[in-house]
Chains A and B, each alone.
Chain A
Amino acid sequence: MSSSPALDAILAPGGLQVAFQPIVEVRGQARHIHSLECLIRGPRGTNMEPPAVLFEYVRRKREETALDRACVASALKAASGLPAEVPLSLNVHAATLERDPEFVLYLTDEAAADAIAPGRLTVEIVEHAPLWSGPAFREALSALRDIGVGIALDDIGLGQSNYRMMIDCKPDYFKVDGYLVRGCRADFYRMAVLESVASLARRFGARVVAEGVEEEDDLAALVAVGVDLFQGHVLYPPLTLEALKESGILPRLDATA
């Protein structure tokens, strides 16, 4: 039991809300759902409901590990209602991978309990910093790969998502922040950066996911430099499980409900 009511509410079963945002693969005129990112909001009607407040609070309490476990449990439980073939991505703090030696086992157990194969999962590493990239962090990445979980590096090009992190993580996905994406079509410098990120990802054998895509023109510009995975309101907003079921965008959802 934690020492604060806000944290207790966050960590209580059912405290967190889960939404899914489709990541869409674009090939020519065809667009397909590639995977779903599991997004978390705090307890409904509380100060912690907005994700920005929730994660800032947990960071200040140094309870990223406890929150990540709660997020994983909530996300996988919600996702158990989805079609078996839909890949999922989960956000995990770099601090958790460094500080929680049992996290990978916990993830494995939770996935098994919800009948979700680890091979369907990608862990998106967030809020990474040199402090969290020691031996324990690298061992956790290795353990995740051993069970078939993919690795994504969030916020490419911003903050601590530097070349050292790319080399240490060797991610399967480079997630490019909306700051670089928004307005890129008309921005020479943004396009120069995005072109270099796309080229680097190819050298790593990784794929680029462009986040925060709000305009078709920006999407087209990114396709032109070789990006083929996109996430943002121009495609789909975050959706609850119920909204996903009603949208009809996932095949065979009714058959597995």
Chain B
Amino acid sequence: MAQRTEAASGLQGRSAMPHRLLLVDDETPILFAMANYFRAKGYVVDAAREREEAEALLTNVSYAAIIVDLRMTAVHGADGLEVVVYARERCPSARIIVLTAYGSPAAEAEARARGADAFLHKPQPLADLAQLLEALLGKHES
């Protein structure tokens, strides 16, 4: 496997064009920390704090990957799932990772049935998340 620098891991293999990543989480500190981390790794990052913002971006922008918090509001507990469904519809080839602090086998099964490629429990070290994302994107490219 070709060696990659830490900073270049957001780049696609052959073309060196950066992957575009959408992050969706209603907790601003978490969202900003993830955005800064993945930008430093070479990804082009859009960060959305609510379902409608994510969906407006997905309507107009093509993403290589989406990382979405499962439960974003107290009222609409399934907002994250709706983002997964819409993301799968708008970006059929994107990799979708669901993060949640409220995980259960049933929740994971439902997320995967709706189109998620991975289901992780919070808190998740960013390095581990990045490694998973790279693996999913690499698997897709090959």
Chain A residues in the interface with B (C-beta under 8 A) = 4-6, 47-48, 50, 52-54, 56-57, 60-61
Please name the residue on chain A nearest to B48 by beta carbon: A47
Task: Answer yes or no: B59 CB below 8 A from chain A CBs.
Answer: yes
User: Are A53 and B49 in touch, CB under 8 angstroms?
Assistant: no
**Number of B interface residues, CB 8 Å?**
14
A57: contacting residue among B46, B47, B52, B61, CB under 8 A: B52
A4 touches B49 (CB 8 A): yes
Does A47 lie within 8 Å of B57, measured CB to CB? yes
A56–B50 touching, CB < 8 Å? no
Selected A-B contacts with CB under 8 Å, 27 pairs: A4-B50, A4-B52, A4-B53, A5-B28, A6-B49, A6-B50, A47-B46, A47-B47, A47-B48, A48-B56, A50-B60, A52-B59, A53-B56, A53-B57, A53-B60, A53-B61, A54-B56, A56-B55, A56-B56, A56-B59, A57-B53, A57-B55, A57-B56, A60-B52, A60-B55, A60-B56, A61-B52
Give residues 21-62 of B contacting A (CB, 8 Å).
Answer: 28, 46-50, 52-53, 55-57, 59-61
Complexed CA–CA distance, A60 and B53 (Å):
9
A47 to B46, CA, bound (A): 7
A-B contact count (CB 8 A): 39
Interface residues of B (CB under 8 A from A): 28, 46-50, 52-53, 55-57, 59-61
Cα(A57)–Cα(B56), bound, Å: 5
Q: By DSSP majority rule, is chain A's interface helix, strand, loop, or mixed?
A: helix
How many angstroms from the CA of A4 to the CA of B60 in the assembled complex?
20
Assembled-state Cα–Cα distance A52/B57 (Å): 9
